[in-house]
Structure 1
Amino acid sequence: MSSDPRTIQIYDERAGEYASVTADHIETPLLQAFIAALPSDAHVLDLGCGPGLFAAAMEAKGLTVDATDASEQMVALANQQPGVSARQASFADLDAREHYDGVWANFSLLHAPRADMPGHLARIHSALKPGGQFHMTVKTGTGEARDRLGRFYTYYQPCEMRALLEDAGFTVTKITPGRDKGLDGSLSDWISVASHA
């Protein structure tokens, strides 16, 4: 979902590899908690869906999922998943109003410049129905940098992320820390933030 051309190019070139690296992350308690907080017939946006594995898991639970990603190759992979209909779009393309019961943005918004984050969060808040659930995961740290593959990242401290969400009108309900190895092979610390509109 990044608008950074270099980041999108890397995901286009390594979409299959990324799908393999992240395949064992799908059965996460974070996804289970997100689904449990939604109505049984919820309409969800997977914002930055990557290869569509989470979208497919949500569809399998009976949710209706709109899946979007800025990478053409990621969208192509997502559309191969059972029940998934994905389209190419950037964060800034989101213009829905009170349309979704939930928005899932897992390791996607961290590719946006820090200066753009308030606008992205405002659009997500507008796209959610009142009380709608929002999940996002970002890497922890400070500043902005490219990883060893060249992907652009913005790093956040938990208190900063909480403040940004609250400023956008969200109520933060839980912050969960974690650590995983990513596509570039390095271990990274992250936080998952659950909130609602």
Structure 2
Amino acid sequence: MTDERTINAYSTRVADYLQVPLPPEQIEARMAFAEAVGTGHILDLGSGPGSDSAFFMREGLTVRALDATPAFVEHARENGVDAHLGTFEDVTEKAEYDGIYASFSLLHAPRAEFPRHLAAIHRALKPGGIFFLGLKLGTGEHRDDLDRYYTYFSQTEIEEAMAHADFTIDRITTGMGTGLAGSYDGFILVLAHA
């Protein structure tokens, strides 16, 4: 499922999105992901305008970026990122990637689809491949002040879903931060391997 209202919210706010500062926990977790992968080919799943992809490229990784917002894909391409228009449904590879980075993207998928997306990510990773997952903590599914669709999870729900998808969690970091809508939300950053 692709939520047009969410895509529209992002399409009109590319410049604003680029100005949102990453919390220190996320900067550190992004580096930890790059170090865990080391070298190789990664997928930036829900890559936004490509800022993380560009960071990983500077770290020597080969990056394929995937996002459902055309304006984000265009911005990423203009900045040298191998960006493609697509959704979570387009993760169909088998043992292709050394790492998959899903930073606050899977929270836009309905809760019922979360296990299926995790299974597809696991299949797309090489054995032992690294997976980074960033989500907002909370309960329920609703729209934020920018009309974006969100699914919120508890840490326990995430841990159980990851275990069910055969991921081994290596590290969990939690924190608080302000996103594009200006709300101050709890988040969770999970580093795991297939």
1:77 Cα offset (Å): 1.1
Instruction: Give the match for residue 5 of structure 1.
Output: 4
Instruction: Give the match for residue 55 of structure 1.
Output: 53
Instruction: Give the match for residue 28 of structure 1.
Output: 27
Instruction: Give the match for residue 176 of structure 1.
Output: 173
User: Percent of counterpart pairs with the same letter?
Assistant: 45
1:35 Cα offset (Å): 0.9
In the alignment, residue 161 of structure 2 is paired with which amino acid?
L
Q: SS of 2:147's equivalent?
A: coil
Please report the TM-score for the alignment, with normalisation by the length of structure 1: 0.94
> Structure 1 residues 25, 90: closer, same or farther in 2, change over 3 A?
farther
Counterpart CA distance in 2 for 1:92 and 1:177 is 28
1:5 Cα offset (Å): 1.0
Q: CA RMSD in A?
A: 1.6
Instruction: Give the match for residue 79 of structure 1.
Output: 77
Alignment match of 1:155 (pick from 152, 160, 176): 152
In the alignment, residue 33 of structure 1 is paired with which amino acid?
A
In the alignment, residue 144 of structure 2 is paired with which amino acid?
D
Q: Pairwise mapping of residues 10-21 of structure 1 onto structure 2 (< 5 A)?
A: 10-21=9-20
1:26 Cα offset (Å): 10
Counterpart CA distance in 1 for 2:24 and 2:71 is 20
Farther-moved stretch of structure 1 (11-20 vs 66-75): 11-20
> Structure 1 residues 187, 13: closer, same or farther in 2, change over 3 A?
same
Runs (5+) with no aligned partner, structure 1: none
1:118-159: per-residue Cα shift (whole Å, max 9, x none)? Answer: 110010000000000000100001110110111000001001
Contact kept, 8 Å, 1:26 with 1:57, in 2: the verdict is no
Counterpart CA distance in 1 for 2:163 and 2:114 is 13
Aligned pair 1:122/2:119, yes or no? yes
Runs (5+) with no aligned partner, structure 2: none
Aligned pair 1:186/2:193, yes or no? no
Counterpart CA distance in 2 for 1:176 and 1:188 is 14
Counterpart CA distance in 2 for 1:95 and 1:71 is 19
Q: SS of 2:191's equivalent?
A: strand
Contact kept, 8 Å, 2:41 with 2:99, in 1: the verdict is yes
Please report the TM-score for the alignment, with normalisation by the length of structure 2: 0.96
1:27-82: per-residue Cα shift (whole Å, max 9, x none)? Answer: 81101110111132x1000000001000000001110000010000010111122x
> Structure 1 residues 172, 157: closer, same or farther in 2, change over 3 A?
same
Counterpart CA distance in 2 for 1:141 and 1:165 is 17
